[in-house]
Amino acid sequence: MHKLDGLTPDIAQENIEQLKTLFPDVFEEGKIDFDKLKQVLGEYVDDNKERYNFSWNGKGQALRLAQTPSAGTLRPCVEESKNWDITQNLYIEGDNLEVLKLLQKNYHKKVKMIYIDPPYNTGKDFVYTDDFKNSIANYLNITGQTGEENIKISTNNEKNGRYHTDWLNMMYPRLRLARNLMKDDGLIFISIDDNEIDNLKKICDEIFGEDNYLNTISLNAKLSAGASGGGEDRKLKKNIEYILIYCKNIDYFPPINPVYKETELMEYIANMRKERKSFK
């Protein structure tokens, strides 16, 4: 039985809660960052005020990149497909940022679960600048399918002054677009190791909201498919990787029951990675 308290609805608080659901990243320590709200709505803000926030060189540009429409088109390749008429699966080859933008129209708030295995930024990862002026040629070039020399291909070496910055600018718009695709009770799993787990946690807290963080799973890398369990250069052999888990909206997300056993989870992750590698 609902107990009446005699109070009228708190319209302001209800509006704040709705705003938090739509834009969790504009809240910092429970309060609205109005400058950030302006940026999310497409207005450029030159913010130099000192306050608690996670920032880096190029963050504003990365936000605008996520909001920039794509002029690309997804085209089916029936001759290279298997069981085209009856399959329930879809494999898309292309620049992942542009593809995420193209999926927004038909799959906005329709995806139940997302699993991504991004570059760990180990110093050997492939890094490139997002550029959609000639997106198809750009994609074919960076994947080694053409021999054009007008686009620089390099690894993100630790000696690079923008070592973490380049990685953050790559991840930030992609995670924002991924959130847009998630259902209200959707989940996202993100694999990472110790090179960027701290930065990944911070940008995910901003994009998905701290309240929607569910857990961080530690994995024994030696048992994972293709993992080496290296780290001798740090004087202490490491064998742990991580999976960060966020939901779209904690109010819509039920408790996970039953709890998965470690062996079942490890087998699931290994199969996911095996399937991903089979497409390369």
Quote the pLDDT of residue 198.
95
Same domain membership, residue 133 and residue 214 = yes
Same domain membership, residue 19 and residue 65 = no
Q: What are 147-200's pLDDT values in tens digits?
A: 545 444 555 666 555 778 889 999 999 999 999 999 999 999 999 998 899 999
pTM of the model: 0.69
**Of 25, 20, 65, 21, which is closest to residue 42 (Cα–Cα)?**
65
Quote the pLDDT of residue 179.
96
Q: How many domains does the chain have?
A: 2
* CATH label of the domain that carries residue 274: 3.40.50
Quote the pLDDT of residue 132.
44
d(CA 217, CA 244): 7
Ranges of the chain whose pLDDT falls below 70: 1-9, 11, 44-51, 124-161, 222-236, 256-265, 275-280
Quote the pLDDT of residue 248.
95
Range of the domain at 193: 54-278
Same domain membership, residue 16 and residue 116 = no
Same domain membership, residue 163 and residue 89 = yes
Quote the pLDDT of residue 156.
64
Same domain membership, residue 35 and residue 58 = no
Quote the pLDDT of residue 111.
95
Same domain membership, residue 240 and residue 189 = yes
C-beta neighbour count of 157 within 10 angstroms: 11
Same domain membership, residue 98 and residue 75 = yes
Same domain membership, residue 91 and residue 27 = no
Same domain membership, residue 161 and residue 119 = yes
**Of 129, 151, 134, which is closest to residue 72 (Cα–Cα)?**
134
Quote the pLDDT of residue 172.
95
145 in a structural domain: yes
3 in a structural domain: no
Same domain membership, residue 89 and residue 26 = no
**Tokens for 196?**
């960027």
Same domain membership, residue 181 and residue 126 = yes
d(CA 226, CA 222): 8
Same domain membership, residue 118 and residue 15 = no
